[in-house]
Amino acid sequence: MSPAGVVCVAGMSRGTDRKQFFIEERSIMTIVALPEAKNVGSSLDRALDAGRGILRLCPTWVPRSFLHPGKRLRLHPNDYYSYGLDRGGIDERWFASTTEAANENRTPDEGLSWCLFEKERFLLRDAVAIGGASLVGKAIWDRYKKWPVYSKFFDNAGPIPHHMHQSAADAALVGQEGKPESYYFPPQYNNCDNNFPYTFMGLEPETTQNDLRQCLENWNRGDNGILDLSKAYRLKRGTGWLIPPGVLHAPGSLLTYEPQWGSDVFAMFQSLVEGRAVPWSLLVKDMPKEKHHDLDFIIGQLDWDKNVDTHFKSHNYLEPIVDPKHSSKGVTDRWIVYGHVDGQQLFSAKELTLDPGARVTIKDPGSSGWITVQGEGRVGVHAVATPTLIRFGEMTSDELFITSETAQGGYEVENTGNGPLVSLRYFGPDVHRDLPQVGDAAPKA
């Protein structure tokens, strides 16, 4: 492994000696310098054959002009403004994404995951379009004709504006999709709290729509006071939240793993954050132009009942749940994101931990995006390792896409290191028959 803690790992062909299950490049590979595959179908077939149904993914970095990087993504300190100061700092890394980031002045592939095989690359979005059901599963392909979800690490130094993501119906008004999402706070990436490890969520039950209207009317007077109408919850490592569309939330400063629907719509309802002005355009960017100053319409995009829910925490808070069917001695598989949004299973996620020397065959009912957050080991024929420091544009060996056929057939995971091997994997809609519901976690003694 290179001093930077990153490697480029290629798959092996069938029949290769198990002890030689990966090829390690001795020099760091720069992804951006690699050519795109001329024939994605041919490259995909070879990558799937060599990787036995598992694709290796390159890091996908996303900047935000209106946010402040928390610098826990393990990106090199010199590289957080690699897109340029005017584009803002990098405070997100997206996983197994076929969703474009909705940023102004974006690069053509911003938010999209690249697959790497034999020193050439191709977009996961193109691979899914070609591989269809074999990659994402028949039910997902038949209904969506794409991989409709993604996940990310979101890492900010402080709080971000109180905002919401539109419902499917409201997003459709501007040709977009809605965005329910979820949170999990991985301990391995939260070595420090940063500036504000609390998140405002929803509104106090006694809040009226007129109260909120006054906040919008006061937008250009400084702090519009919307946080006075909300409640902050202290963030706890190793737990999470389920956030339905239309629900206000102002994420705090813990790094967050966020499985969510494949959309990047939002509406910022807070005018001033840590002394930084939030432009009105970020409130209305995903609303019809003729409604940009219609306060009744803007407030109407909120799910009012969910925002003023008197039992907000019990209806949205997630404690991890051990899955006994997939856990054994030295192996623990935990549900970390679960439950339904408006009666629908849209996404879910699990955390897999293997003790040193442990080995397990994983069988999941559907495809998943995999990210290694601690240790080193093997997933199928792929070596995996958690990086310590990543240069912008360099390859890592921590991220994979597990295709549906391989997930259902089973693949072996082995811890080859001296400490725990910990990974997070997220799933698409309607995959699990035994998905826990919010509130199913056993109460703490």
pLDDT at 286: 97
Q: Work out the average pLDDT over 90-102.
A: 97
Q: Work out the average pLDDT over 412-422.
A: 98
Q: Which of 108, 112, 124 is nearest to 54 (CA)?
A: 124
Q: Would you call 291 helix, strand, or coil by DSSP?
A: helix
Whether residue 249 contacts residue 331, with contact meaning beta carbons closer than 8 Å, is answered with: no
pLDDT tens digits, residue range 158-197?
999 999 999 999 999 999 999 999 999 999 999 999 999 9
pLDDT tens digits, residue range 210-246?
999 999 999 999 999 999 999 999 999 999 999 999 9
pLDDT at 34: 84
Q: What is the DSSP string of 396-426?
A: -SSEEEE-HHHHHH-EEEEE-SSS-EEEEEE
pLDDT at 261: 98
pLDDT at 16: 35
Q: Work out the average pLDDT over 320-344.
A: 97
The span from the CA of 180 to the CA of 247, in Å, is 9
Q: Average pLDDT, whole number, for the chain?
A: 93
Structural domains of the chain, ranges and CATH numbers in brackets: 9-427 (2.60.120.10)
Cross-strand pairs, 341: 344
Whether residue 414 contacts residue 373, with contact meaning beta carbons closer than 8 Å, is answered with: no
Banded pLDDT at 21 (limits 50, 70, 90) = very low
Q: Work out the average pLDDT over 411-426.
A: 98
pLDDT tens digits, residue range 269-281?
999 999 999 999 9
Banded pLDDT at 143 (limits 50, 70, 90) = very high
Q: Would you call 232 helix, strand, or coil by DSSP?
A: strand
Whether residue 441 contacts residue 319, with contact meaning beta carbons closer than 8 Å, is answered with: yes
- The pTM (predicted TM-score) of the whole model is 0.92
Judge whether residue 445 has pLDDT over 70.
no
The contacts of residue 55 (CB under 8 Å, 6+ apart) are: 47, 48, 115, 117, 124, 127, 400, 401, 403
Whether residue 91 contacts residue 155, with contact meaning beta carbons closer than 8 Å, is answered with: yes
The span from the CA of 79 to the CA of 89, in Å, is 9
